[in-house]
């Protein structure tokens, strides 16, 4: 074969070497291009985490507030802008500045969890929560309400039936407020004064109540046999998941935020958690054993129960009065 017809080897020209910083920038741009909107990023975060119904509702509520602040169709990368951290901190303080420290801690933890998830996905390159400090939660030894305060609350006139039933059920069952607000009518066993709740970690457990709540619940249900136990006052103004809407009335499930607001307004600042706290404190004062208290509170350990089982100041005062030698000498 002559040289003119001999096949030539084809060679690829070597690609020019790209600086490492340029490669990283290309990768970052490619990843950030798939970020999408605030709404889609929140949806991805919730879909990635295996939460029970109550926790999912709390997480979704906290992130919905962020979505309403930023705009559902806004690009998530708005949180990477230079002033984003300061603006987010200002919004957070305005929204949650007057809530209980424990509430602010929870909301901040959810916000940081979501931002951490978005950063790990490469959708954010900065931490927009950097300007927020974790609130200190002071230890309050007077959180338990007295029995006299509760008796006055049960006797109060003008309290709507829904609130009376919810508050009484919350105290008698010593359940968490979110667990009870997540109840559907199908979860109730009215004959045996108990209900199935989705607890922390996703466990399904029984909570029990007494006569006070047992008398109020049938009146609240008024013949309904399906849907959420506790309903909002009005029709929802936005789309609500089917599981959170009553098929008969069309009303949505009562939210934790609204329930807490109503209780605080009616009681000059008490919190829903104080009803659970008070129930466990009063049971401990009455001599309930630690195993039974653990079964009722559904804490994982006795250590977690300690702050609830601590006798109230009123119990200490009664004990001292009963043992005071001066009255016995009279």
197 and 269 in a single domain? The answer is: yes
Q: In the 8-state DSSP scheme, what is residue 273? A: H
256 and 153 in a single domain? The answer is: yes
CA distance 97 to 320: 40
pLDDT at 208: 95
161 and 109 in a single domain? The answer is: no
203 and 306 in a single domain? The answer is: yes
44 and 87 in a single domain? The answer is: yes
Nearest to 150 by CA among 17, 21, 314: 314
70 and 162 in a single domain? The answer is: no
pLDDT along the chain (330 residues), means of 10: 44 44 42 70 91 82 93 93 90 87 86 94 92 70 81 95 98 94 97 91 88 98 95 90 92 94 92 92 86 82 69 67 64
Domain-located, residue 7: no
Give the contacts of 290 (CB within 8 A, at least 6 positions apart): 302, 305, 309
Domain-located, residue 228: yes
The structure tokens 């030894």 sit at 141
pLDDT at 97: 84
197 and 251 in a single domain? The answer is: yes
Question: And the tokens for 110?
Answer: 């959810």
302 and 229 in a single domain? The answer is: yes
Q: Angle, nearest 10°, between helix axes 290-297 and 302-309?
A: 100
CA distance 251 to 235: 5
pLDDT at 33: 43
Domain-located, residue 205: yes
CATH of residue 257's domain is 1.10.443.10
Q: Could you tell me the residue range of the domain that residue 71 belongs to? A: 20-120
pLDDT at 14: 42
92 and 169 in a single domain? The answer is: no
164 and 82 in a single domain? The answer is: no
CA distance 305 to 301: 7
pLDDT at 247: 93
169 and 307 in a single domain? The answer is: yes
Q: What are phi and psi of 59, to 5 degrees?
A: -60, -45
- When divided into structural domains, the chain yields a total of 2
96 and 224 in a single domain? The answer is: no
CA distance 51 to 40: 18
Domain-located, residue 236: yes
Give the contacts of 198 (CB within 8 A, at least 6 positions apart): 52, 53, 54, 179, 182, 204
Collapsing DSSP to helix, strand or coil, 195 comes out as: strand
pLDDT at 291: 85
């Amino acid at each position: 074969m002559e040289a003119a017809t001999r096949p030539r080897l084809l060679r690829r020209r070597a690609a020019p070497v790209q600086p490492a910083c340029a490669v990283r920038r290309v990768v970052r741009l490619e990843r950030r291009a798939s970020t999408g909107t605030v709404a889609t990023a929140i949806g991805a975060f919730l879909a990635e985490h295996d939460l029970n119904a109550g926790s999912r509702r709390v997480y979704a509520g906290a992130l919905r507030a962020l979505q309403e602040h930023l705009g559902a169709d806004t690009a998530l990368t708005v949180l990477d802008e230079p002033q984003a951290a300061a603006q987010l901190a200002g919004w957070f303080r305005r929204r949650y500045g007057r809530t209980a420290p424990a509430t602010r801690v929870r909301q901040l933890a959810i916000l940081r969890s979501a931002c951490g998830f978005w950063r790990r996905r490469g959708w954010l390159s900065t931490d927009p929560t950097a300007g927020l400090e974790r609130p200190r939660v002071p230890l309050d030894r007077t959180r338990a309400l007295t029995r006299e305060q509760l008796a006055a609350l049960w006797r109060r006139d003008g309290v709507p039936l829904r609130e009376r039933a919810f508050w009484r059920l919350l105290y008698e069952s010593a359940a968490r407020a979110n667990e009870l607000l997540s109840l559907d009518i199908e979860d109730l066993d009215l004959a045996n004064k108990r209900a199935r709740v989705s607890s922390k970690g996703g466990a399904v457990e029984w909570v029990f109540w007494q006569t006070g709540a047992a008398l109020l619940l049938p009146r609240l249900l008024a013949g309904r046999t399906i849907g959420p136990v506790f309903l909002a006052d009005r029709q929802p103004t936005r789309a609500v998941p089917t599981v959170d809407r009553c098929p008969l009335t069309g009303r949505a499930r009562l939210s934790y935020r609204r329930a807490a607001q109503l209780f605080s307004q009616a009681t000059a600042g008490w919190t829903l958690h104080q009803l659970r706290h008070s129930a466990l404190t009063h049971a401990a004062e009455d001599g309930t054993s630690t195993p039974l208290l653990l079964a009722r509170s559904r804490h994982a350990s006795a250590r977690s129960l300690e702050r609830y089982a601590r006798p109230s100041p009123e119990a200490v005062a009664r004990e001292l009065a009963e043992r005071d030698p001066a009255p016995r000498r009279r």
